[in-house]
Amino acid sequence: MASPTSRPRKIHWFARLEHRFHAWRERRARRRGRTATVLPFPGYGGPGWVRVVGRVLIVPPRPRTASGEFASVRGWRSFVGIPVSFATVQVTVNGRVHEVTADRGGVVDAVIHEELPSGWQSMEMRVEGQDPVEARVFVVSADVRFGVVSDIDDTVMVTALPRPLVAAWNSFVVDEHARLPVPGMAVLLERILRDNPGSPMLYLSTGAWNIAPTLSRFLSRHLFPAGSFLLTDWGPTHDRWFRSGREHKLTNLRRLAVEFPHIKWLLIGDDGQHDEAIYTQFLAEHPASVAGVAIRRLRPAEAVLAGGRVAPEDHSDDDVPWVSAEDGAGILEKFVEAGLLR
């Protein structure tokens, strides 16, 4: 008889219900002649490998204005695409085709072993015989020793996400034109990467993959440096109603420490969620992987919307500098004082 540890985990009933609902939606869409497409997200890699990320969806046509241009997209439209479970995706890298499989939510997250030059590189992804779409990955050179990981919500973009009603408004109603950048953060990140050429820029957030296109347009519009996305899926997991945002961030930070053991990461977050506690735990586990930490302090009005701030901890005895300010200009000044920037 199989031991308890060898038995497959029981899938949460809500996850099973969600899967059946999406399967029903997919059958209806296919009867109407609609086909799946793969939506690539910016990934990253190192010498001899790349992490390819994307999602397989059946999506409604994007509306156009009277002039024929694509209309502004409100957040809710990002959530109406139908995820295609366990789809087979062909990824072409260096002229060679690799097959990867999406997960239950249609998310593709796979490591492909191919050698690519450092910097931003292109590849192709294709599903169900459709036309290939371009995917981009940032390949980190073996001699790079520095990288940046930044939260998004209330760190680079004002959202007041911890408050449920405000989060719903930002996610489902507001389009990217109405979202506001945190003052000075684009300049800060651009300055950091300019002083450290070739360094990877990763945006790590508890936001759903559904809003990745909106985030990408927002970051580009407000002149934030291009970077790879590490978001999460929407909905239940095998054993709980919703995914743990804290565990999502810790898991990806730990993975980065393993994938790039020679890189020290500059970690940037805010005091409206759990970023300080997450970065503290990661620093304790991987002290050699942290160059410094910046915590953006929410302004009083933002803190009210976010339900308050997390009380700051004492980091005076830490081996790496911790800085805190209300905006990018203040953090930049603190970085220079701490010797993290020239």
Q: What is the pLDDT of residue 40?
A: 93
**DSSP state letters, 4-51:** GGGSPPPPPHHHHHHHHHHHHHHHHHHHTT---EEEEEEEEEETTEEE
Q: What is the pLDDT of residue 149?
A: 98
Identify whether the C-beta of residue 38 lies closer than 8 Å to the C-beta of residue 126.
Answer: yes
Whether pLDDT at 70 is above 60: no
> What does the alpha-carbon distance between residue 69 and residue 72 come to, in Å, rounded to a whole number?
9
Identify whether the C-beta of residue 48 lies closer than 8 Å to the C-beta of residue 115.
Answer: yes
Q: What is the pLDDT of residue 310?
A: 61
Whether pLDDT at 251 is above 60: yes
Q: What is the pLDDT of residue 2?
A: 42
> What does the alpha-carbon distance between residue 151 and residue 295 come to, in Å, rounded to a whole number?
10
14 pLDDT tier (thresholds 50, 70, 90): low
Where exactly does CATH 2.60.40 map onto the chain? 8-139
Q: What tokens were used for 272?
A: 């409206």
Q: What is the pLDDT of residue 16?
A: 63
Task: For residue 295, list its beta bridge partners.
Answer: 269, 324
Identify whether the C-beta of residue 99 lies closer than 8 Å to the C-beta of residue 126.
Answer: no
- Contacting residues for 316 by C-beta, under 8 A, at least 6 apart: none
Q: What is the pLDDT of residue 236?
A: 44
- Count CA atoms closer than 13 A to 102's CA, side-chain side: 26
Where exactly does CATH 3.40.50.1000 map onto the chain? 146-338
Question: pLDDT exceeding 70 applies to what percent of the chain?
Answer: 74
Pairing of strands 228-232, 264-270: unpaired
Backbone dihedral angles phi then psi of residue 41, each to the nearest 5 degrees: -120, 150
The per-residue b/e assignment along 8-20, b for 16 or more CB within 10 angstroms, e otherwise, is: eeeeeeebeebbe
80 pLDDT tier (thresholds 50, 70, 90): low
Q: Let me know if domain 146-338 sits in CATH 3.40.50.1000.
A: yes
User: What is the average pLDDT score of the chain?
Assistant: 82
pLDDT in tens, 98-153: 999 998 888 999 999 999 999 999 999 999 989 999 999 999 999 999 999 999 98
21 pLDDT tier (thresholds 50, 70, 90): low
> What does the alpha-carbon distance between residue 188 and residue 192 come to, in Å, rounded to a whole number?
6
Whether pLDDT at 237 is above 50: no
Q: What is the CATH number of domain 8-139?
A: 2.60.40
pLDDT in tens, 191-215: 999 999 999 999 998 887 877 888 8
Identify whether the C-beta of residue 319 lies closer than 8 Å to the C-beta of residue 287.
Answer: yes
Lowest mean pLDDT among 9-23, 60-74, 288-302: 60-74
Lowest mean pLDDT among 139-153, 195-209, 228-242, 324-338: 228-242
Pairing of strands 264-270, 146-150: parallel
